[in-house]
Amino acid sequence: MFDKLKSKPWWFQVGVSLILFLVVLFVVLQWAKSYTRHGEKIAVPNLIGKSILLVEEEDNPNDFEYVITDSVYMPEKSGGIIMDQDPKPSSFVKNGRKIYVSVTAFDVPKTPYPVKEGYSMRMTKALIENAGFRLGEIEERPTDMVKNGNYVLESKANGKIVKFGEPLPKGTLINLIMAVASLDSLIENPVLTGLSLKEAIQLANSKGIETFIRGELDGDSSDFWVQRQKPDAHFIDQIRIGTRIELTLKPNSEKPTIQEEIHD
Predicted local distance difference test score (pLDDT) of residue 229: 93
Distance, CA of 43 to CA of 48 (rounded, Å): 15
**In this structure, are 213 and 194 located in the same domain?**
yes
**In this structure, are 91 and 119 located in the same domain?**
no
Predicted local distance difference test score (pLDDT) of residue 93: 86
Structural domain boundaries enclosing 87: 42-104
**In this structure, are 140 and 120 located in the same domain?**
yes
**In this structure, are 7 and 26 located in the same domain?**
yes
**In this structure, are 28 and 55 located in the same domain?**
no
Predicted local distance difference test score (pLDDT) of residue 154: 93
Low-confidence ranges of the chain (pLDDT < 50): 38, 259-264
Predicted local distance difference test score (pLDDT) of residue 264: 46
Predicted local distance difference test score (pLDDT) of residue 107: 81
DSSP state of 51: B
**In this structure, are 192 and 245 located in the same domain?**
yes
Q: Are 239 and 208 in contact (CB under 8 A)?
A: no
Distance, CA of 210 to CA of 203 (rounded, Å): 10
Q: Are 165 and 107 in contact (CB under 8 A)?
A: no
**In this structure, are 133 and 169 located in the same domain?**
yes
Query: Where does the chain have alpha helices with state H?
Result: 2-6, 10-36, 52-57, 121-130, 197-206, 258-263
pTM, rounded to two decimals: 0.44
Q: Specify the number of domains making up the chain.
A: 4
**In this structure, are 54 and 6 located in the same domain?**
no
Distance, CA of 146 to CA of 143 (rounded, Å): 6
Tell me which of 65, 88, 104 is where a domain ends.
Answer: 104
Predicted local distance difference test score (pLDDT) of residue 90: 87
Q: Write the CATH number for 160.
A: 3.30.10.20
**In this structure, are 217 and 249 located in the same domain?**
yes
**In this structure, are 32 and 59 located in the same domain?**
no
Give the residue from 130, 50, 42 showing the smallest Cα distance to 85.
Answer: 50
**In this structure, are 156 and 170 located in the same domain?**
yes
